[in-house]
Chain A
Amino acid sequence: MNKLLAIAGGATLLYAVLAVLMGVIPGIELSRVPPGPGVGPLTALEARGREVYVSEGCAYCHTQQVRPLPLDEVFGRPSAPGDYAYATPQLLGSERTGPDLSNIGARQSSEIWQYIHLYDPRAVVPQSIMPSFRWLFEVTDEAPQGLEPVPVPKPYAPAQGVVIPGPDARALVAYLLSLKQAALPGAHGDSAARAATTAAAATSMAATPATPAAPAATAAASSVFDAAEGAKLFAANCAACHGAQGAGVPGVFPSLHANPAVAASDPSEHIGAVLHGVHGKSIAGVTYAAQMPAFGPMLSDRQIAAIIDHERTSWGNHAPLVTAQDVAAARAKR
């Protein structure tokens, strides 16, 4: 009996100590991390949306952690400890079958796009393998008062009636749009923990030095238009709404073919739209209700110029090119 007690008791005691050391104590410490600047609690509707996110298992394919690595820059700035102060249960995730959502509210701020995408992801991203969440919507003959039907593109819309977001869909989209990374004070952030993280990450990745994109710093770069870069950035940032071939979705997201802002010799409207976003614009008699996000805070001047130049030279467009300096000037004006 004594030997049994020694082995079972000793092993359990040792394990309990290690469990407290690696699980409980870090848990206690990190539960106390104060919210970062600009990080606040969710509204009741957004909190309900977070519950929908959890029960539908969104976190199995979408992360909410931006690592201080160059390959993650497309999703936003590196996540800081203070970002998660109100994020319980934590939804950092372990797999990225779909894109990271830490900053999706800024990267894809159009409510209409989010509804269409939830109703049938392939209506806006043809290659998507995300499941459709049609049961979060109702199909009725007529939209009830005060509710706008979701403008689902023809081949994906129900044969009869209009698509109305149900309460869970509205909550979920409210939550997704609330996912906006608060700006960190200073270009690189001054949180000690994050600074340490970035520094250590950089040393461990000697092959690819980290180049955190501080928008203004890269403005003076080459003014030569890089066509491949422009096409790549367009596919990553714009194609979800405007389509891979810039044709948009009729009546929902404007086409960039023969688009007045794109075709104009004076690029200021085009630059302004990409930098600051657009809302409620009428083009050729059609008013577009969907909100276009502002890419100014997310992309550098060089990147924005590359996108604009890609648009101005594709799909039959032949408008004059812009440079990173033009974008920087437009940015400074506002």
Chain B
Amino acid sequence: MLPVSVRRRAGPERANINAAKRMTSIPSPSSRTARYADDRALASMLSAYIVCATIWLLFATAVGVLLALKFAWPELLSNSPALTFGRLRPIHTNGTFYAWASPALIGLALYVAARSSGTRLYSTKLAWLTLLLLNLAALAGTITLALGFNDGDQEYREWLWWIRVILASGLITAAWNLIATVARREGKDIYLSNWYTIGGTLWTIIIVIVALLPWYQHGLGQVAVQGYYMHNAVGMWFTPLALGVFYYALPKLMNRPIYSYSLGIFAFWTNLAFYPLLGAHHFLFSPLPWWLQTTAIVCSVAMLVPVWGGSANFLLTMRGRPERLRRTPAAFILVGVLGYLLSSTQGTVEAFRSLQRVWHLTNFTVGHSHLTMYGFITFAIWGGIYALLPRATGKDPNNLLMGIHFWLATVGVLIYVVALSVGGTVQGLDWIRGAPFIESVTDMAPYWLWRSVGGVLMFLSHMLFAWNVWTMTYARAGVAGAVAAPAVAGA
């Protein structure tokens, strides 16, 4: 039986964790019908976010597979400008970032904010508006990129400025809703997840605005802003939101509070202190000022503090309950935590100048970005969806499909990352030994082929996931007759 249907029970709990306790306790009695309506509204809001995000996931990763195949067959679908590599690549990256991961994480964050605060969502209407704005931006961004409107090939901000204004308004409405919901909480404490999700959303509004204003973005100045932007948009947005999911879903799935609440708070502040400073490590050896590059390297090392602290916190929460890890969405979270630990540590190592000499500008970086955005973020989202969506809608996913989804995605991303890490190293060593450039291209051929194999497995897993999302949301309730579930709110 799935743990999602494990009913709340009075297990042993740490006395010092009030907030964690509160989220597993039944909210103060109010009108039962009103609560039922609130739960329904929350469930349909979350369903819509996850369904939209999943459609975008299918689209953006299908594009990803096509891109991967073009490395082996460059003439594949090359006669239409909209289907060439240079136009599809930003469609893939922006699609996975802002159309899949962002709405999924915001939907989960809104749900967590309401549930962990023991209240209803501040405004369901506002949540729908956020979703509309995010989808509008993604649609406009995808179409304009396909038509060749690219705002300067600046990674992850290729959408035209007015589309990014729509994205920013989506974020602002989300932040407003999150804050106002947490403001309605019953107790005094703010559950840790909300620190991360509210912080992440507010920071990202700043990131998007800094990236939009043009006055300090000429020539090399734009290089500095780009170094800041491309890394903060990942690490101050997706990371805190995904950690917010961990901090809420993991205690639920493990049926025990988070190992150390204060370690979570410590990681929050250290992440905030170090992460914003490390963006320039994307431009080591460039003409950017040397002090900027060195600061970035130092802070990349300092990031080990919140990363290892946070990861240890999650792993210790999971320790000693293998039966729960084996058969549950917690397996997704376990991979997500390991992805967080490995990819962030890898990021630190990559920032050293000695290793940048080999890996910078090679496909190693692409392997790294998939370990983070997929091995960490996407697995965290899946863990969160499988853990929380059935609780909201009362409809369980198909257990077998969930298992196949898990293994296809895990094996797929493993092949993907190993192939590009080894291949990227070969590529870098080719350059160092002074081989003619084209040799670094031909040497990559087998690794690019393996990357496609991994990518196809990942894509297949998304189709199973999509089916499960359907089962958990709009499919007619199965034999479980699960519509009754909202009554066990918070369970």
Interface residues of A (CB under 8 A from B): 1, 3-4, 7-8, 11-12, 14-16, 18-19, 21-24, 26-33, 54-61, 63, 65, 67-71, 74, 79-81, 83-99, 121-122, 125, 127-135, 193-194, 196-197, 200-201, 204-205, 207-208, 232, 235-236, 239
Contacts and interface: CB of A to CB of B under 8 A. Distances in A.
A132 B224 contact: no
A131 B78 contact: yes
B13 interface: no
Nearest to A233: B436
A88 B366 contact: no
Contacts of B188: 3
Interface stretch (B67-75, B95-103, B385-393, B453-461): B67-75
Interface string B138-162: 0000000000111111110000000
B202 A15 contact: yes
B437 A99 contact: yes
B361 A63 contact: yes
Interface string B304-343: 0000000000000000000000000000000000000000
B71 A69 contact: no
18 contacts: A3-B189, A18-B273, A19-B228, A26-B224, A26-B292, A31-B217, A31-B220, A55-B149, A56-B148, A57-B90, A68-B285, A69-B285, A84-B287, A89-B152, A90-B222, A127-B438, A131-B84, A131-B86
B362 A3 contact: no
B287 A83 contact: yes
Contact of B85 (A28, A57, A67): A57
Nearest to B295: A22
Contacts of A129: 70-72, 74, 441
Contacts of A86: 219
Nearest to B149: A55
Contacts of B75: 131-132
A204 B353 contact: yes
Interface in B183-199: 183, 188-190, 195, 198-199
B84 to A, nearest CB: 5
Interface stretch (B29-37, B49-57, B427-435): B427-435
Given A129-B71, A131-B86, A92 B283 contact: yes
Given A18-B277, A81-B287, A129-B71, A23 B441 contact: no
Contacts of A122: 74
B7 interface: no
B272 A23 contact: no
B221 A26 contact: yes
Contacts of B289: 26, 30, 193
A135 B219 contact: no
A125 B437 CA distance: 11
Nearest to B198: A8
Contacts of A88: 152, 217-219, 222
Contact of B217 (A18, A27, A60): A27
A92 B217 contact: no
Nearest 6 Cβ contacts at the A-B interface: A57-B86, A89-B152, A31-B221, A27-B216, A23-B228, A67-B285
Interface stretch (B118-126, B129-137, B203-211, B395-403): B203-211
Contacts of A94: 155, 230, 282, 361, 365
Given A90-B220, A131-B85, A95 B361 contact: yes
Contact of A97 (B210, B223, B441): B441
B114 interface: no
Given A4-B190, A26-B224, A30-B221, A201 B436 contact: no
Interface in B244-292: 268, 272-273, 276-277, 279-280, 282-283, 285-290, 292
Interface string B225-249: 1101110100010000000000000
B284 to A, nearest CB: 8
Interface string B44-83: 0000000000000000000000000011101100110100
Contacts of A84: 219-220, 223, 287
Contacts of A71: 357, 431-432, 434
B290 A30 contact: no
Given A89-B153, A92-B286, A30 B74 contact: no
Contact of B436 (A16, A19, A21, A235): A235
B370 interface: no
A31 B219 contact: yes
Nearest to A16: B206
Contacts of A239: 436
A30 B357 contact: no
B442 interface: yes
Contacts of B28: none
B434 A12 contact: no
A81 B286 CA distance: 9
B87 interface: yes
A236 B217 contact: no
A169 to B, nearest CB: 13
Contacts of B16: none
Contacts of B285: 67-69, 197, 201
A135 B83 CA distance: 12
Nearest to B83: A131
Nearest to B178: A8
A125 B272 contact: no
A31 B221 CA distance: 4
Given A31-B216, A236-B437, A7 B206 contact: no
Given A15-B203, A22-B276, A24-B225, 14 more contacts: A12-B203, A19-B210, A23-B228, A23-B232, A26-B288, A26-B292, A57-B86, A60-B85, A60-B153, A71-B432, A94-B361, A127-B442, A129-B74, A201-B353
B298 interface: no
A18 B188 CA distance: 29
A91 B223 CA distance: 8
Given A4-B183, A8-B199, A12-B206, A135 B81 contact: yes
Contacts of A208: 432
A60 B195 CA distance: 36
Nearest to B90: A57
B423 to A, nearest CB: 11
Contacts of A21: 277
A30 B220 contact: yes
A54 B150 contact: yes
B210 A96 contact: no
A16 to B, nearest CB: 6
Contact of B190 (A7, A15, A196): A7
A132 B83 CA distance: 12
